[in-house]
Amino acid sequence: MAADAHPPIEELAARIRAFVDRELIPLEAEFLKNAAALEPVLEAKREEVRKLGLWALALPREAGGQGLPLAQFARVSEELGRTPTGHYVFGVQAPDIGNAELLHLAGTPEQKEQYLKPLVAGRVRSCFAMTEPHTAGANPVLLSTRAVREGDEYVIDGHKWFCSSADGATFAIIMAVTDPDAPPYQRASMFLADTSNPGWKFVRNIPVMGEAHGGYFSHAEIRLEKLRVPVSARLGPEGAGFLLAQERLGPGRIHHCMRWLGICARAQEELCKRAVRREIAPGKRLADTQLVQSWIAENAADIACSRALVMQVAEHAEKHGFKAAREEVGIIKFQVAGALQRVLDRTLQAHGALGMTDDAFVAFAFRHERAARIYDGPDEVHKLSVAKQILKRYR
């Protein structure tokens, strides 16, 4: 890809779709058996992507990426989301993309050299440690993890979980309270810590609905026990943790919605293929029934409306900033998550008993993406926030 221009977006999307269909979807059966064991194969695919000039499309050029505009990445992300490994193989996966954006925004030159460069290059992985078992994940101001300054160091103690991709990560960004007496949104700070630090205690990979993956496709529980980091490991000013978290979560929520569109598109493909192939009576297939035709139409409507809304919000955020698009980002977070659940549910139903097995793509997606209505803020929190912002205009 030329350094100063991108090909037309539909041409780029078609190239990526062809790669996904040819190289990644055939790997899904092995992925479902043992995702961690497949990582060497996926690393070879990542090298192919680098050679094609398609690596790290969404990250700014000054951070080492390709600088694809957000709205164009939305189109590309839909193609990558059609398979669970798509974003990972193309170097735009969470939590690494969010951590890279955070380091690019707030990192010192030394932090960028040590952490950002190898992260964007895909030579290391990272994780984000904010959510705690005993405090409300939807309200980061309730964090109990403490970072106490002792001279030129901070000593961090706490308990984290759902640290996605912590298994095998080289470093973490940790959210911890530095001043419990400060106003709520100034209590916490962020810190960079190597996972080889003696105070970083890996507890387990948390099973998700009975399935516990290792490696990148994992969600870990972590204990921080007298974890010492130098003051230079603080990311941004002291007390800026909540502000930085919002800077990270804003684009992160749009990225999630983009990926969900890809899952929806793939589910619709699987529903249609199932409908035209499945015989339910002599000379009659699922596709001949009005009920299944209705499901297909409802899926199409959910996908089209969600796509239009995501593209609109991505363009607005790109032009005016994520702060200006806060209300719209909240809307797409619960709207697209809901559409995803509906599309997956119809697709699973059309597959019958097969849809409950890992012989079908939809079973994996249904199991893992139910959390879409919870992570990065549950539906209910986003709805309340959006409603409050709207009501301000009437008070």
pLDDT tens track for 77-95? 999 999 999 999 999 999 9
Is the pLDDT at 3 greater than 60? The verdict is no
Q: Which CATH architecture does the domain made up of 243-392 adopt?
A: Up-down Bundle (1.20)
Domain 126-235, what fold? Answer: Butyryl-CoA Dehydrogenase, subunit A; domain 2 (2.40.110)
Closest CA to 166 of 100, 207, 221: 221
The predicted model gives 126-137 an average pLDDT of 91
Is the pLDDT at 170 greater than 60? The verdict is yes
Higher pLDDT, 136 or 239: 239
31 φ/ψ angles, rounded to the nearest 5 degrees? -60, -45
Virtual torsion, Cα 348, 352, 354, 356, nearest 10 deg: 50
Domain 9-120, what fold? Answer: Butyryl-Coa Dehydrogenase, subunit A; domain 1 (1.10.540)
User: String of b and e for 296-312 (b: at least 16 CB within 10 Å)?
Assistant: beebeebbeebbebbbe
Helix (H) or strand (E) holding 228: strand 219-230
Is the pLDDT at 14 greater than 60? The verdict is yes
Q: How far is CA 147 from CA 150, 191, 234, in A?
A: 10, 9, 10
Predicted model pTM:
0.91
The domain limits of the chain are: 9-120, 126-235, 243-392
* pLDDT for 5: 59
* pLDDT for 252: 84
The predicted model gives 232-241 an average pLDDT of 97
* pLDDT for 322: 84
174 φ/ψ angles, rounded to the nearest 5 degrees? -110, 135
What is the pLDDT of the chain when averaged over all its residues?
A: 94
pLDDT confidence tier of residue 2, bands split at 50, 70 and 90: very low
Q: pLDDT of 252-280, one tens digit each?
A: 889 999 999 999 999 999 999 999 999 99
Q: How far apart are the first and last CA of the chain?
A: 51
